[in-house]
Amino acid sequence: MSKIFPRNSRQTLPTAVGGDGCYVIDSSGKRYLDGSGGAAVSCLGHSDVAVTEAVKRQMDKLAFAHTGFFTSEPAEALAELLIAHAPGDLERVYLVSGGSEAMEAAIKLARQYFVEIGQPSRSRIIARQQSYHGNTIGALSAGGNEWRRAQFGPLLLDVSHIPPCYEYRLREDDETAWDYGQRAAQALEDEILACGPETVIAFLAEPVVGATAGAVPAVDGYFKRIREICDRYGVLLILDEVMCGMGRTGRLYACETDEIAPDILCIAKGLGAGYQPVGAMLCTGKIHDAIASGSGFFQHGHTYMGHPVAAAAAHAVLTALLDRGLVERAALMGDVLQNRLAEAFGQHPHVGDIRGRGLFRGIELVADRNTKEPFDPAMGLAARVKRRAFEEGLICYPMSGTIDGRRGDHVLLAPPFIISESEIDELVRKLSIAVEGAV
Ligand code: PLP
């Protein structure tokens, strides 16, 4: 019997033994098309030689040197490349091992920044109801996923959660998308004023909401207004691009489409593309300098931060994305995927919405397409779709979420950027079988 403490004790999982392009192979030889990149991780597929070679070269040179004593060549090179392509005024990179660590670091950096500049009364975070920022206590507090938070309530920070920008369910019939976006953003100003601007450190958001919503981008104008509100009250804007960053939406960073830049940006998943566990927090020079010229010490740190092998992998991944035109490919193949989904599900009685950007797409499953009535939670729809798809040899990411007390079921798709048209056809065909078998 396995000695692993699994995510789900009621499941017996196959053993993954190999990777080949967009496929994961188990010990029986069965091939699974990775339609969700795991969870939006595997942007280069599972057998990228340039990245594995970079990892091997670094292993031969230097596996580890503690960042309390040394910097390293791969960490410096990665930071340099990230900043060269970063949005706005982001000037510094803090390397960690994953998305939750990046978010945790961002929350603590935002708080320390205000302490350093003499505004210690600021400690409140505002985030959104429909969000996931990670599973560590700070990141979980910021996230709005009720199911993940439920039993940890007494341990969580007191975070304000405003409604998200979720056009499919929250735009009124007589409202334009633009007006709805302005109204949705107004919730941030209202909350800042209700809390007292002198108490708020940051607003946190995913530009395209991933796991809790199934690839929901904001409507035009929403994030521009959010940026204005943050600036007006001196509140830092932290964007969580752990899932939607690194080219996933067809731009290197999703916020480029929204034409804004954050004060702090968090990335992970696609940064290591699954070849190494790595994440990063990027911040403006202004934030870095406040600490550098203040206490001089960011009161944070992990043993494995800035790991040379992880940094070498991430550098090779980012180089591959840039040099092979893979971000542009994500945009192009994203259009193909959207079209195929529209053909397969556009008139489907149980698909209410097809959405997303680039190779970050979602379909929302509903009991009634006209009323948008969700399925009965007792059905366990997300788990059924996942199981059925897996039987067919497709990895996808179905989830249930709650918004305004109403449930919703969606399937998130985030295949590798190297996916071909015929593999997209296979993905959509297998997903259709899974949906038919589950609803
Ligand atoms: N932020 C977002 C938007 C995520 O989707 C996730 C993971 O799914 C995280 C943060 C946490 O990242 P990790 O699982 O690497 O800790």
Separation of 100 CA from ligand 1 center, angstroms? 6
Per domain, the residue ranges of the chain are 16-47+325-438, 52-323
Compute the Cα dihedral for 140, 141, 145, 149 and give only its sign.
Answer: positive
Separation of 134 CA from ligand 1 center, angstroms? 5
Separation of 212 CA from ligand 1 center, angstroms? 11
Which residue of 130, 132, 304 sits with most ligand 1 atoms within 8 Å of its CB, as the best mutation to test the pocket? 132
User: Looking at residue 271, what DSSP letter applies?
Assistant: G
What is the reported pLDDT for 437?
A: 95
pLDDT at 400 over 90: no
**Cβ-contact 213, 166 below 8 angstroms:** yes
If you take atom 13 of ligand 1, which residue's CA is the nearest one?
Answer: 99
pLDDT tens per residue, range 309-360: 999 999 999 999 999 999 999 999 999 999 999 999 999 999 999 999 999 9
User: 349: which residues sit within 8 A by CB, 6+ positions away?
Assistant: 368, 369
Atom number in ligand 1 closest to CA 134: 11
**Cβ-contact 166, 90 below 8 angstroms:** no
Q: Is 103 a pocket residue for ligand 1 (Cβ < 6 Å)?
A: yes
Q: Is 37 a pocket residue for ligand 1 (Cβ < 6 Å)?
A: no
pLDDT tens per residue, range 54-64: 999 999 999 99
**Cβ-contact 249, 222 below 8 angstroms:** no
SS3 state of residue 238: strand
Neighbour-count burial of 378, counting CB atoms closer than 10 A to its CB (0-12 exposed, 13-18 middle, 19+ buried): exposed
If you take atom 1 of ligand 1, which residue's CA is the nearest one?
Answer: 133
pLDDT tens per residue, range 155-166: 999 999 999 999
CA neighbor of 269 nearest in space, from 103, 399, 155: 103
Q: What is the ipTM of this complex?
A: 0.99
Position 106 confidence tier, pLDDT thresholds 50, 70, 90 = very high
What is the reported pLDDT for 407?
A: 73
Instruction: Report pTM.
Output: 0.98
Separation of 244 CA from ligand 1 center, angstroms? 10
pLDDT tens per residue, range 216-234: 999 999 999 999 999 999 9
pLDDT tens per residue, range 124-148: 999 999 999 999 999 999 999 888 9
Question: Chain-wide mean pLDDT for the chain?
Answer: 97
Position 404 confidence tier, pLDDT thresholds 50, 70, 90 = low
Distance CA 265, CA 243 (A): 12
Which tokens go with 150? 């439920």
pLDDT at 76 over 90: yes
Q: Mean per-residue pLDDT for 195-222?
A: 97
- β-bridge mates for residue 406, sequence order: 403
Compute the Cα dihedral for 252, 288, 135, 120 and give only its sign.
Answer: negative
**Cβ-contact 215, 250 below 8 angstroms:** no
Separation of 40 CA from ligand 1 center, angstroms? 10
Neighbour-count burial of 25, counting CB atoms closer than 10 A to its CB (0-12 exposed, 13-18 middle, 19+ buried): middle
**Cβ-contact 141, 124 below 8 angstroms:** no
Atom number in ligand 1 closest to CA 206: 3
- β-bridge mates for residue 92, sequence order: 283
3-state secondary structure string, 111-127? Answer: HHHHHHCCCCCCCEEEE
CATH number of 16-47+325-438: 3.90.1150.10
Alpha carbon of 368 to those of 23, 43, 225, 350: distances in Å?
Answer: 34, 34, 34, 6
Distance of CA 191 to the CA centre of its chain: 24
What is the reported pLDDT for 146?
A: 86
Position 65 confidence tier, pLDDT thresholds 50, 70, 90 = very high
Q: Do domains 16-47+325-438 and 52-323 have the same CATH topology?
A: no
Q: Mean per-residue pLDDT for 389-413?
A: 88
Task: Tell which CATH architecture fits domain 52-323.
Answer: 3-Layer(aba) Sandwich (3.40)
Q: Mean per-residue pLDDT for 274-299?
A: 98
Which tokens go with 224? 């521009």
